[in-house]
Amino acid sequence: MDTFALIRDRLTGVDPLLVVAIVAAAFALVLAAVIGVAVVLMARRRRRLLQAAEAERIETEQNEARMQSEARMAELRRMQAETSGLVRAMGDMLANRQSQFEKSFSERLDAVTHRVGQSVQHSTQQTTDNLARLNERLAVIDSAQQNITALASQVTSLQSVLSNKQQRGAFGQGRMEMIIEDGLPKGTYEFQFTLSNSTRPDCVIHFPDQRPLIIDAKFPLEAVTAFRDSKSDDERNLAGKLLRQHVSKHIADIAGKYLLPGETQDLALMFVPSESVYAELHDQFDDLIQRAFRSKVVIVSPSLLMLAIQVIQQIHRDAKMREAADKIHAEVGNLMDDLRRLRDRVNKLDNHFGQANEDIRQILISADKMEKRGARIREVEFDGDDDDASAVVIPAPIGARRIAGE
């Protein structure tokens, strides 16, 4: 009361509005103080609530972690059992599959070997038969050469058939192309093929070793015609000399232009489009035949070219058979490599499963140690004021409590 009286005495004579303002300010200060105290109290309460919630959350997470650990251990045991069963099943399956594969592979290999053997035997028989027929034909040709020589005088002169040099060249080229096209499949020969030295022989026949055989059809028939038309011995000797010069030059041209080491075959064929001309060369110009042979140029008539084409056909067949046999051998090797890789992968898979089992065993050992340590901690009791009071015990892990029968 004294305080209020003192305040009243001091405010006597003061402006009422000022008094109201002072009172309002005091009230505001008191209200602000009350609000500040309330805010502080609410903040403390909220902090305590948050701390309690955080402690409860941590405890819940720990319990969930223990439960998850126990669940994972149970899942690991179940997975170990399933993995062991799966490994055994896969081992049995792989053993069965391997046995079936080896049996199937053995049967297929036997079948392939049998077919290859039959094919090789058949090819060998065909080659033998072709060689026998070739020998027979050569014998017939040898016996027919005398008849050809006798009939040479009765053959119509080439001059009446071929009026000029261009026609004679076309005649020889046409006969050669006809024989080649009738005897060989397309793709094994080419006409007017360009070599690396920019020369273009009349025909090349491709061989399996990638080196073509050259055939030239530009035989100098005009020299033969002049030799045949000679009337006297002097004319005949002069025509024979010119014939030797022309043929020798042509042999040298073939050897120099078309025999390219490493690119073409080691010999070339010079085609003579007439059997009578070929027989006459053999009878009266044997030195030209020998010179051509030494220059690795073989002079052939139409019949000999046909025989050569048959031999070339057989060479291509044998090359295809060897290629097929090589492919079969390569495939068998690849199949054996696949089998070895399969065996290696099965061994690696077995090692992986063994390592997984070892890791699971180590995890179980660690889990057992943790459970034993938890049990020992659980048995520890703290001394209190009352000996009969219940001892404070540290909770054991969930797995340990389950094992203990709780």
Rounded to whole angstroms, the Cα distance separating 215 from 200 reads 11
Does the reported pTM lie above 0.85? no
16 confidence band (pLDDT: 50, 70, 90): low
Q: What is the pLDDT of residue 163?
A: 47
Q: Is the pLDDT of residue 253 over 80?
A: yes
Distance separating alpha carbons of residues 361 and 366, to the nearest angstrom: 9
Predicted local confidence at residue 393, as pLDDT: 43
| CA angle 372–377–380, rounded 5-degree value | 135
The domain 155-300 is classified under which CATH number: 3.60.21, 1.10.3470, 2.40.50, 3.40.1350?
A: 3.40.1350
Q: What is the pLDDT of residue 165?
A: 57
Q: Which of 273-282, 329-338, 371-380 has the highest mean pLDDT?
A: 273-282
With cut-offs at 50, 70 and 90, classify the pLDDT of residue 384.
very low
Give the number of other CB atoms < 10 A from CB of residue 169.
18
Q: Whole-angstrom Cα distance, residue 162 to residue 222?
A: 10
- The better pLDDT of the pair 290, 105 is held by 290
337-349 average pLDDT score: 79
Lowest pLDDT segment from 180-189, 261-270, 340-349: 340-349
Amino acid at 121: Q
Out of 25-34, 144-153, 271-280, 392-401, the most confident range is: 271-280
122 pLDDT band (50/70/90 cuts)? confident
pLDDT exceeds cutoff 70 at 354 = yes
* Over residues 142-157, mean pLDDT: 62
- Provide the token pair at 328: 């079969």
Helix 275-284, helix 16-152: angle, nearest 10 = 60
- Read off the pLDDT band of 149 (50, 70, 90): low
Per-residue pLDDT averaged across 103-121, rounded? 77
Give the pLDDT score at 27: 79
Mean pLDDT, to the nearest integer, of 95-101? 79
pLDDT at 127 over 60: yes
From residue 384, give the alpha-carbon distance in Å to each of 247, 359, 381. 134, 44, 9
From 69-78, 120-129, 244-253, 323-332, the region with the lowest mean pLDDT? 323-332
CA 301 – CA 279 distance, rounded (Å):
9
Total residue count of the chain as it appears in this document: 406
As to burial, measured by CB atoms within 10 angstroms (0-12 exposed, 13-18 middle, 19+ buried), residue 233 is exposed
Confidence band (pLDDT; 50, 70, 90) for 140? confident
| Distance of alpha carbon 376 from alpha carbon 297, whole angstroms | 106
If pLDDT is split at 50, 70 and 90, which confidence band does 391 have? very low
State residue 404's pLDDT score.
Answer: 43
Contacts 24+ apart (CB under 8 A), 368-374: 370/397, 371/397, 371/399, 371/400, 371/403, 374/400
Residue 269: the pLDDT is 92
Could you tell me the residue ranges of all domains in the chain? 155-300
What rounded mean pLDDT belongs to the chain? Answer: 78
230-257 average pLDDT score: 86
**Of 204, 205, 210, 245, nearest to 224 (Cα)?**
245
Task: Name which of 311, 317, 318, 319 is nearest 183 in CA terms.
Answer: 311
- Please check the confidence at residue 153 and state whether its pLDDT lies above 60: no
pLDDT digits (tens, 9 = 90+) for 165-176: 556 567 778 888
- Residue 403: pLDDT over 50: no
